[in-house]
Structure 1
Amino acid sequence: MWNKHPKALPYLFLSEMWERFGYYLMIGIFTLYLKDVESGFAMTEKEAADLYGTFIALVFLTPFLGGLIADRYWGYRKSIIIGGILMGIGYFLMGVHSLTVLYVAMTLVILGNGFFKPNISTLLGNFYSIPEYKDKKDEGYNIFYMGINVGAFICNFFGAALYILLGWHYAFMAAGVGMFIGVATFIIGTKHYVGYDQKKGTQEGDMPFYKIVLFILVPSVIFGIIGWFIKGVGTDGNYIFGSDSTDAFIFACIPVIFFYSSLYFKAKPENKRPIGALLSIFAVVILFWAVFKLNGSALTTWADRYTDRQITGTTDDVFRGLSLADQIKYQKDSVAVYDAQFRLQKENGIVKKEVNYPLYFRNVKKEKLPEKGATITLWATNLSQSINPGWVIMLTPLVVAFFTFLRSRKKEPSTPTKIAFGLLISALSVLVMVAAVKAGANGTEKVSVWWLVANYGIITIGELFLSPMGLSVVSKLSPANITSLMMGGWFLSTSIGNKLSGVLASMWDTYEDKSNFFWVNFGLLMFATLLMFSLLKQLNKVMAEKGIN
């Protein structure tokens, strides 16, 4: 496999694998840590989901700036190394039990990802501009994407074992160690990047950096402050979009979106249609990320509260031996007290953090409840985060082989067509969760983990049709002098989608019928699907004009 691709691919693959090991280890335990009433910050579901959504949104907003700086000033290699170091330090600080330190750590991760994420993807794309590798670009990005998910798969096992055995801080430290291994791996491969790491510099017609600061970054900060303090017409605290942080984020995005729109209007005639095509794709995939990124919030809640996580026999022995499971004792009286308090809080509209923290036995069938005082073993909730990357690892070779087969018969669909079908398949995955809600009698009974496995399996196929293809199409259509900047635009759409994901997740407790929560997600994805298919003719025409598929 490797000998058909650039020699730099294994180093970029492993660097990204370790970087994602750290990131997804942190994300897998983030909301659980925030909601932990003993060792975390005792946040409610809404508070944790809102902070999670803001965090992952900002993580994918900064690639706009990181891509710009790499393109013009630092080059890709320096930007990637600096970004990785910032992220590693941030992970080490994240486990310090101080809200102030947590925010500092999140800021370092946000800035670090801005330099790391778009530039390693752009550097990879540079190698596939060579005629020898040009027709293997989609395949190369699929392989690279599998590296992302190898790291995302294994990290949760380390995270579970460490926070069960030693506590949250050691799990976050492991994320930092993984990040530094990724940086070291990237540095080892330096000799293979020669000639492909050249900064583009400022080109004729480019907006000077000081103007970007004055007319984009400063306005974004001002708009964000306005969004934070302004009050809208909503019922929840009179916010416009649901919370202070959401209002601030949406407002702060306005100048950045305006900047990307200006790229189209100011582009040279030969670049106008490709940039327009990319901006159209960016807009459509926002809704994909809004639903997909529920894996770290609403779907983690589903695994924690509504999924039967009890294990017995040999599985119990193995999981406890590997410190991947924890034991809890059934106290019938405490469950009764919880149920009474839970009813009281619903009647009064008051959320008490200690009460809101879920008890596992609340929705276990009576006939399945253990004897009072008995102990049962539960696999760690964050292990559910490994289902999606596990599917990616298994399905990537099949998807690559499928498209290779179609290519050999000259029937391979265009990259935009793959993205459109990715959206459709992702929409179908949500129907599995609608069925899961029905199977669990709307959360009154726990359901099998196989519902989550099936949901993740289907949406993973959609993801493989969409996410690596998005990275590929950016490198195919972007004008050479703003490739990394346009890669930052792809991550901007991811950022906005991530924030919308947090907004969706924060509304989880407001749905009496949980199936309606998933029907909303299905509707959003079907809308994006129809929009993408309506754009296909024009998008494919632009691809044909560029002589690419």
Structure 2
Amino acid sequence: MTHSTTVKQKELFGHPVGLYILFLTEMWERFSYYGMRALLVLYMTTSALGNDPRGAGLGWTDQEALALYGWYTMLVYVMSIPGGMIADKLLGQKKAVLIGAIVLCLGHGVLVLTDTWAFYTGLGLVILGVGMLKPNISTMVGGLYREGDIRRDKGFSIFYIGINLGSLLATLIIGLVVAEWGWHAGFGLAGVVMVLGLINYIAGLKYLSHVGDIDRHSNDENEISYGELFGKLFTSKKQLFISFVLFVVSLFGWYKLGWAYGLLFVFLTVITALLMMIYKELESQVFKDRFLVLLLSFIMVIIFWGAFEQAGGLMNLYTESNTRRVLFGWEIPTVMFQSLNAGFITIFATIVAGIWAKRQLKGKEASSLFKMALGIIIMGFGFLFMVFAAMEFQQSGSSSMIWLVLAYFFHTIGELCLSPVALSFITKLAPIKYASLMMGVYFAATGLGSKVAGIVGESASEFGEYAVFLGILVFTVIIGTIFIFLLKPLKRLTHGAEDNEREINDDLTEGFELADEKIN
């Protein structure tokens, strides 16, 4: 890929102007995504008779709505893998982001219509659009800076603000719009802001002229042909046998669970085969050990998001039906509770970063694996407050919203320990030539976690919210604790990947720089 290494770029506040173009594009894209995410389950479970002041919904059961919610949130992220590959090999990131933004506008536009076909078509277009845009716009941010440019971390911190600002604005505003004008006005608002993002991106392309294109004449030794890897699969007996067994399991899943799960299992079989061939082709045992640790860390990612994504699913439904939401005589729209996460991130990101910095300066344990495991435990304890909420509901028929506030607070602290650290961990352990693919696999793991969240949420119709919240609490604490016990052998397998970092490592530095941006 070509980068802006030889061309003088226009700058604003010490950074390339292109950064702010990408900042605004991502902000509006995240507004549209999180706005849609906050409405989805509530819209599907609202009566189709039109007796709700927000208008007619689809009239689905909670179980049906959570099932589709799981598929939707999973596919949005799983599509990052083909989206990244298409950009790498065919279009370049710049064109991929443009196409993704256009498809997103079409998707949200279709969702304004009230027909059932429009609902499914709109969701499908949003999935495709995010898959093209999400994995590639972050890559373009990195391409704005020369290798070794000390401003790069700060640039990503500014970009990160755009993500959370979009989420915060969406969850604060879109609930009020729906309460006043109905569901499809909310869907329409998501489309309008995505059009703003598209206009901003097109207008700013002149500031992105040297980033995000494919270098057709490059002979970069780090480039890899995925076709060659799959071709070698047929000469590797063990890997081929494992892939065949997984494919047979996929066909069985297709037969027993339906075509959707069958396709998912086939997709996972393909990705597993690719990862096995990458492992086999790695040049040294050091790289192979690091690769295995990276894959194990993705287990934590799946489990974390499997619990965390209850926010848009089961916790959203619980807020709507079981929570006293009246404050000073005004009933707070359910969707607005989704803004707590983004708001807490804005407030506590620098505090969490500071705590880790002090631990590291004192020589205490502050490795990425430790942070991620602790993040799962902290997030899991957030469900303790949902257990208290469910207990109060069983006793009195409703529960206080303070339990939701506390739950979202712990979820956010857990997210700050795991999410940015996991992204940084990938760049430390993934072989250079496979770094983009592994970033896509990370997003796919996030998506699988979202699907797990839907499946777990569905079980509430059978076991009840109390049992589900308690089960998530116990399971996450156990898994996080297991990884902490395995910390020493896992760190040995990284072969000192984090030993030679600066006193304050990259993800902590990003936190401090995020604080600087907020203060100034």
Q: TM-score when scaled to structure 2?
A: 0.80
Aligned to 1:308: 324
Q: Does 1:99 align with 2:53?
A: no
How far apart, CA to CA, are the structure 2 residues paired with 1:410 and 1:545? 12
* Aligned residue among 424, 429, 432 for 2:377: 424
Which secondary structure state, in structure 2, belongs to the residue aligned with residue 111 of structure 1?
helix
| CA distance 1:431–1:142, shift in 2 (3 Å) | farther
Q: Please tell me whether the aligned partners of residues 90 and 105 of structure 1 are also in contact (alpha carbons under 8 angstroms).
A: yes
| CA distance 1:517–1:105, shift in 2 (3 Å) | same
* Aligned residue among 12, 15, 30 for 1:20: 30
How far apart, CA to CA, are the structure 2 residues paired with 1:125 and 1:387? 29
Q: Does 1:454 align with 2:473?
A: no
Q: Does 1:471 align with 2:423?
A: yes
Q: Please tell me whether the aligned partners of residues 224 and 248 of structure 1 are also in contact (alpha carbons under 8 angstroms).
A: no
Deviation larger for 485-494 or 30-39: 30-39
**Per-residue Cα deviation, 1:175-206 (whole angstroms, up to 9, x for no partner):** 11222222333445545545553547785652
Aligned to 1:294: 310
Q: Please tell me whether the aligned partners of residues 11 and 189 of structure 1 are also in contact (alpha carbons under 8 angstroms).
A: yes
How far apart, CA to CA, are the structure 1 residues paired with 2:326 and 2:449? 34
Report the identity percentage.
30
After TM superposition, list the pairs within 5 Å mapping 1:334-349 onto structure 2.
Answer: none
After TM superposition, list the pairs within 5 Å mapping 1:199-348 onto structure 2.
Answer: 199=214, 206-208=225-227, 226=251, 229-231=254-256, 239=257, 245-246=260-261, 248-269=263-284, 271-313=287-329, 316=330
Aligned to 1:392: 345
| Coordinate RMSD, CA, aligned | 3.4
* Aligned residue among 451, 460, 473 for 1:508: 460
| CA distance 1:3–1:472, shift in 2 (3 Å) | farther
Please report how far the alpha carbon of residue 480 of structure 1 lies from its aligned counterpart in structure 2 after TM superposition: 3.4
| CA distance 1:429–1:246, shift in 2 (3 Å) | farther
Which secondary structure state, in structure 2, belongs to the residue aligned with residue 440 of structure 1?
helix
**Per-residue Cα deviation, 1:41-94 (whole angstroms, up to 9, x for no partner):** 110001000011011111111101111122223222211121122112111112
Which secondary structure state, in structure 1, belongs to the residue aligned with residue 324 of structure 2?
coil
Letter in 2 for 1:304: E
Q: Does 1:66 align with 2:18?
A: no
How far apart, CA to CA, are the structure 2 residues paired with 1:164 and 1:132? 47
| CA distance 1:490–1:114, shift in 2 (3 Å) | same
Q: Does 1:541 align with 2:495?
A: yes
How far apart, CA to CA, are the structure 2 residues paired with 1:299 and 1:82? 34
> Deviating runs (4+, > 6 A) in structure 1?
222-225, 407-412
After TM superposition, list the pairs within 5 Å mapping 1:49-60 onto structure 2.
Answer: 49-60=66-77
Aligned to 2:480: 529
Please report how far the alpha carbon of residue 160 of structure 1 lies from its aligned counterpart in structure 2 after TM superposition: 2.0
Which secondary structure state, in structure 2, belongs to the residue aligned with residue 268 of structure 1?
coil
Which secondary structure state, in structure 1, belongs to the residue aligned with residue 495 of structure 2?
helix
| CA distance 1:229–1:204, shift in 2 (3 Å) | closer
How far apart, CA to CA, are the structure 2 residues paired with 1:272 and 1:540? 9
Q: Does 1:84 align with 2:101?
A: yes
**Per-residue Cα deviation, 1:306-333 (whole angstroms, up to 9, x for no partner):** 10023444xx3xxxxxxxxxxxxxxxxx
Please report how far the alpha carbon of residue 300 of structure 1 lies from its aligned counterpart in structure 2 after TM superposition: 0.4
How far apart, CA to CA, are the structure 1 residues paired with 2:362 and 2:80? 38
Q: Please tell me whether the aligned partners of residues 227 and 250 of structure 1 are also in contact (alpha carbons under 8 angstroms).
A: no
* Aligned residue among 429, 432, 439 for 2:392: 439
How far apart, CA to CA, are the structure 2 residues paired with 1:250 and 1:522? 28
Q: Please tell me whether the aligned partners of residues 312 and 338 of structure 2 are also in contact (alpha carbons under 8 angstroms).
A: yes
**Per-residue Cα deviation, 1:484-504 (whole angstroms, up to 9, x for no partner):** 221111011011111111100
Aligned residues between the structures = 469
How far apart, CA to CA, are the structure 2 residues paired with 1:403 and 1:72? 39
Deviation larger for 37-46 or 120-129: 120-129
Which secondary structure state, in structure 1, belongs to the residue aligned with residue 24 of structure 2?
helix
Q: Does 1:487 align with 2:497?
A: no
Q: Does 1:114 align with 2:139?
A: no
Q: Does 1:32 align with 2:42?
A: yes
| CA distance 1:50–1:246, shift in 2 (3 Å) | farther
Gaps of 5+ in 1: 232-238, 317-377
Q: TM-score when scaled to structure 1?
A: 0.76
Gaps of 5+ in 2: 1-11, 51-55, 235-239, 506-520
How far apart, CA to CA, are the structure 2 residues paired with 1:539 and 1:532? 14
Q: Please tell me whether the aligned partners of residues 82 and 112 of structure 1 are also in contact (alpha carbons under 8 angstroms).
A: yes
Deviation larger for 97-106 or 404-413: 404-413
How far apart, CA to CA, are the structure 1 residues paired with 2:408 and 2:450? 18
How far apart, CA to CA, are the structure 2 residues paired with 1:72 and 1:521? 41
| CA distance 1:295–1:200, shift in 2 (3 Å) | farther
| CA distance 1:223–1:59, shift in 2 (3 Å) | farther
| CA distance 1:436–1:141, shift in 2 (3 Å) | farther
How far apart, CA to CA, are the structure 1 residues paired with 2:472 and 2:478? 10
Deviation larger for 196-205 or 70-79: 196-205
**Per-residue Cα deviation, 1:408-438 (whole angstroms, up to 9, x for no partner):** 7777933333222212211221212122222
Please report how far the alpha carbon of residue 171 of structure 1 lies from its aligned counterpart in structure 2 after TM superposition: 1.1
Letter in 2 for 1:117: K
After TM superposition, list the pairs within 5 Å mapping 1:164-203 onto structure 2.
Answer: 164-190=179-205, 193=208, 196-199=211-214
| CA distance 1:169–1:113, shift in 2 (3 Å) | same
How far apart, CA to CA, are the structure 2 residues paired with 1:307 and 1:200? 55
**Per-residue Cα deviation, 1:324-357 (whole angstroms, up to 9, x for no partner):** xxxxxxxxxxxxxxxxxxxxxxxxxxxxxxxxxx
How far apart, CA to CA, are the structure 2 residues paired with 1:150 and 1:192? 23
| CA distance 1:50–1:3, shift in 2 (3 Å) | same
| CA distance 1:150–1:285, shift in 2 (3 Å) | same
Q: Please tell me whether the aligned partners of residues 440 and 447 of structure 1 are also in contact (alpha carbons under 8 angstroms).
A: yes
Q: Does 1:145 align with 2:160?
A: yes
Aligned to 2:512: none
| CA distance 1:180–1:274, shift in 2 (3 Å) | farther
**Per-residue Cα deviation, 1:350-401 (whole angstroms, up to 9, x for no partner):** xxxxxxxxxxxxxxxxxxxxxxxxxxxx322211211211211221233344
Which secondary structure state, in structure 2, belongs to the residue aligned with residue 262 of structure 1?
helix
